[in-house]
Amino acid sequence: MILGIDVSTTASKALLLGPDGEVKAVASSSHELSTPRPLWSEQDPEDWWSATCKAIQAVLSEAQIDASEIRSIGLTGQMHGLVLLDAEGSVIRPAILWNDQRSSAECEYIRERIGLAELVRISGNDAFPGFTAPKLLWVRNNEPQNFERVAQVLPAKDYIRYRLTGVFGTDRAGAGGTLLLNLASRTWSNDLLELLEIPSAWLPPTHEGTETTGIIHTEATQETGLASGTPVVAGGGDQAAQAVGVGAVSPSVHALTIGTSGVVFAPCTQPVTDPRGNMHAFPHAVPGLWHVMGVMLSAAGSLQWYRDTFAGNVSFDHLVAEAASVPIGCEELTFLPYLSGERTPHANPHARGAFVGLTLAHGRGHVTRSVLEGVGFGLLDNQRLLMECGVSAPQSMRASGGALKSPIWSQMLADILGTPLEPVQTTEGAAFGAAILAGVGAGVWGSVTEAVGQTVRTGSPILPDAHRTLQYGQAYDRFRSLYPAINGA
């Protein structure tokens, strides 16, 4: 057996994977989100640990196996967070999460101190409040008493690694999300650390996703039920592990994930960056690969908001069925999905959504379809951004997330993107990917590519229709013209 652990924003999940690729058991335990002030988003790392212990105990019980049968453990989880430990290894303050927006001023400081072009050249990314480095500078500027105590800086899943093994470490995909990694060398950037006056001793050693970082120690054995000495591999940040879990481990296969947010993920054999910093570039969890990704903040979340606000008693299936009878382009009704600002390709936290072109001729089906199309066009924006920066066009796109439950919306997305979509049968992408990385690290499989070939299963591909793709192109042009008109760009 192989164990994958995913420390997400909402819960800690444990997944047991057999060498045949079958998921033997899954369990999760939730944790609370705290928003003590506007724009703030925090969690107590102790809650992660407590939830992780519960999830591990539950999955061992569900599978009815002895912990000694677990050959290796892989970790994944939410990226970009800030966990601060003192010299005794105790948590100094609540963790600041990926969706926290308090550090805009620190982002401006980073750009001015380093220069956007140099920052992107080194790290592959612009400074966003979601990243770790601006959060650390915010603590320095606003909580000096806490900053003086700092001895170690960790992302979320690496705090769990510390509690499991007693050692510090992180994967290189997750480290890329701190804004402190040299993208090309896959090591911490001494230049960035010196310019931002951050001691290198505060950062953990970095590892490739399949490398062993430590073993389960005695105290963790008592709290989790795991066997002492079980190896723990590096794993990956949630998006990189998700990509492994769906089989996006070569440049010819991209990944599309549609949950509350939407992600277009492309593996690369060398670093690829956007000089404007409009997309994200990190090492992949697969050794020797990198990845770029575009992230839109309100994908299926747009449909959720629309239904809850305007049609709360109507099922999603019924709404989407109504939309299916409406012509492509919604008779010139367009929805801009910037309900939470936007991340890529418009790095604008103040971007706003809109319905444009409403007339008396439009009914609920038109409005629903405009939401579905608007999300598709936002994803196409991101796919085109990746292509503009030199990423190879995919032969197929592994698709996962709630939108894929709808055949109508799935076909719509394939037509808009003009790319075959391959639905992935597992719904446990990140934890599944972490388990695959652990299996490779333990020698169950010889490589990530081999492991994916034996474990990842896809459904029948959803093929785009060339004529409909052309029709969507006209509606997309209208969509593209509206962002600067509405948001003053």
Tens digits of per-residue pLDDT, 171-224?
999 999 999 999 999 999 999 999 999 999 999 999 999 999 999 999 999 999
| pLDDT confidence of residue 489 | 59
- Confirm whether 445 is domain-assigned: no
- Confirm whether 351 is domain-assigned: yes
Query: Encoding tokens for residue 91?
Result: 């948590």
- Domain count for the chain: 2
Q: Using an 8 Å Cβ cutoff, are 209 and 287 in contact?
A: yes
Residues 278 and 394 in one domain: yes
Among 70-74, 381-385, 483-487, the range scoring the smallest mean pLDDT is 483-487
**Known catalytic residue at 238:** yes
Residues 210 and 269 in one domain: no
Residues 287 and 216 in one domain: no
Rounded to an integer, what distance in angstroms lies between the CA atom of residue 157 and that of residue 3? 14
Residue 349 has pLDDT above 90, yes or no: no
- Confirm whether 368 is domain-assigned: yes
Residues 148 and 166 in one domain: yes
Check: pTM over 0.85? Answer yes or no. yes
Residues 207 and 355 in one domain: no
Q: Using an 8 Å Cβ cutoff, are 278 and 483 in contact?
A: no
| 272 backbone dihedrals φ, ψ, rounded to 5° | -125, 130
- Mean pLDDT, rounded, for 282-288: 97
Q: Mind listing the pLDDT tens digit for each residue in 363-390?
A: 999 999 999 999 999 999 999 999 999 9
Q: Using an 8 Å Cβ cutoff, are 82 and 202 in contact?
A: no
Residue 307 has pLDDT above 90, yes or no: yes
Residues 70 and 113 in one domain: yes
Residues 369 and 227 in one domain: no
Residues 177 and 318 in one domain: no
| 98 backbone dihedrals φ, ψ, rounded to 5° | -60, -30
Domain boundary among 240, 275, 307: 240
Q: Which of 126, 158, 171, 238 is catalytic?
A: 238
What's 393's DSSP letter?
P
Residues 279 and 230 in one domain: no
- Confirm whether 139 is domain-assigned: yes
Residues 267 and 327 in one domain: yes
- Confirm whether 279 is domain-assigned: yes
Assess whether the previous peptide bond of 345 is cis (omega < 30° from 0). Answer: yes
For residue 101, what is the domain's CATH number? 3.30.420.40
Domain boundary among 190, 217, 240: 240
Query: Encoding tokens for residue 314?
Result: 């109507």
Q: Mind listing the pLDDT tens digit for each residue in 86-135?
A: 999 999 999 999 888 899 999 999 999 999 999 999 999 999 888 999 99
- Confirm whether 259 is domain-assigned: yes
State the residue range of the domain holding 136: 2-240
Rounded to an integer, what distance in angstroms lies between the CA atom of residue 33 and that of residue 29? 13
Rounded to an integer, what distance in angstroms lies between the CA atom of residue 181 and that of residue 193? 9
| pLDDT band at residue 428 under the 50/70/90 scheme | confident
Q: Using an 8 Å Cβ cutoff, are 12 and 31 in contact?
A: yes
Q: Mind listing the pLDDT tens digit for each residue in 217-258?
A: 999 999 999 999 999 999 999 999 999 999 999 999 999 999
Residues 275 and 343 in one domain: yes
- Confirm whether 436 is domain-assigned: no
Q: b/e string for 211-226 if b means 16 or more Cβ within 10 A?
A: bbbbbbbeebbeebbb
Share the mean pLDDT of the chain.
95
Domain boundary among 220, 240, 260: 240
Residues 190 and 140 in one domain: yes
- Confirm whether 442 is domain-assigned: no
